[in-house]
A and B are shown apart, each in its own frame.
Chain A
Amino acid sequence: MSDSTLLQSPLIELEKSGRFQWVGDTIELHQSPFMGHIRIRGDLSSPLFVEKIEQATALPLPASCGGVSFGEDLKIIWISPEEWLLVLSSESRVGSMIDRLKTRLEGEHIAFVDTSGGQTVIRVSGENAISLLSRGTTLDLHESQFLVGSSAQSILFGATVLIVRVNSNHSTPLFELYCRRSFADDLARRLIDSAQLIK
């Protein structure tokens, strides 16, 4: 793992000081950089694979599209029928987690890829969060269609983005946008531009 003091936020150009954030009347944008992202690939029909992953993470492995398992400081998001994204609160935890998974699943036909350096998370919240995101995607983000605690990978403002609707204690919706760091600056600028148009 690289030293965290050497890491540069993907939104460095937009950050005047500290972490990126943009706060409007009804929309807030924040970035959660340097989280741990592990791509897990394996066979869902293998009971051993599912059991060991669930043991190591203490979370159920989502089996279908849109599934997300939330833990205290980690989550597992369904990507495809044989691929999941394991998100940890910090990049520094990735090494030990991959070691733990590898030890338990030695000899199995699986893959763990650390994509932490290539991805970032932008959090969109506020009462107009859905109106904002709807300007950039064809997904129906209404609460009745896009349930709290579910996810979808799609195109958002031209970039491939994994959208997760997070359980929040507040009455307003909270979304996490997982995108490639090279798209993050463009995505954030487009979100800000669109947010300024929403009154």
Chain B
Amino acid sequence: MFLIECPWCGRRDQGEFSCGGEAHIVRPASPDDLDDESWADYLFNRKNPKGVHLEQWVHIQGCGRWFNAARNTVSNKIVSVYKVGEEPPHPEKRKPVPESGQ
């Protein structure tokens, strides 16, 4: 068990939160133009890194809000949390947007 800092409620136990998977995945602007491989990549393929990973979390048992967290997948240390719409602290960790995307 570890503590997660909710941007609104402060430090709370992990049990109050739920993880929503990788953050900053942008839906392609025109899916019809994508080939099967790119579409499957958008739907299914995730980074699964060893190290800092940008994730979506929700404070489901508290204020119920979604936010993003940069978590080290090896040490489980939350490097930073930031609100949805804010720039991530490690932009290089973002998943690249497919060419036909926005």
Contact = CB atoms under 8 A, between A and B. Distances in A.
B63 A65 contact: yes
B63 A155 contact: no
A172 interface: no
Given A154-B62, A155-B61, A138 B15 contact: yes
Given A80-B64, A160-B61, A155 B15 contact: yes
Assign chain A's interface to a size class.
10 to 19
Interface residues of B, number: 12
A69 to B, nearest CB: 17
A133 to B, nearest CB: 14
Interface in B2-58: 8-10, 12-13, 15-16
Given A138-B15, A155-B16, A65 B61 contact: no
* B interface secondary structure, majority: loop
A187 to B, nearest CB: 14
A39 B16 CA distance: 21
B84 to A, nearest CB: 12
Given A138-B13, A154-B16, A155-B15, A80 B8 contact: yes
A118 to B, nearest CB: 16
Given A80-B63, A81-B63, A81-B65, A65 B15 contact: no
Interface in A133-168: 138-139, 152-155, 160
A155 B13 CA distance: 9
A152 B63 CA distance: 9
27 contacts: A64-B8, A65-B9, A65-B10, A65-B63, A79-B63, A79-B64, A80-B8, A80-B63, A80-B65, A81-B65, A83-B63, A138-B12, A138-B13, A138-B15, A152-B9, A152-B62, A153-B61, A153-B63, A154-B12, A154-B13, A154-B61, A154-B62, A155-B13, A155-B15, A155-B16, A155-B61, A160-B61
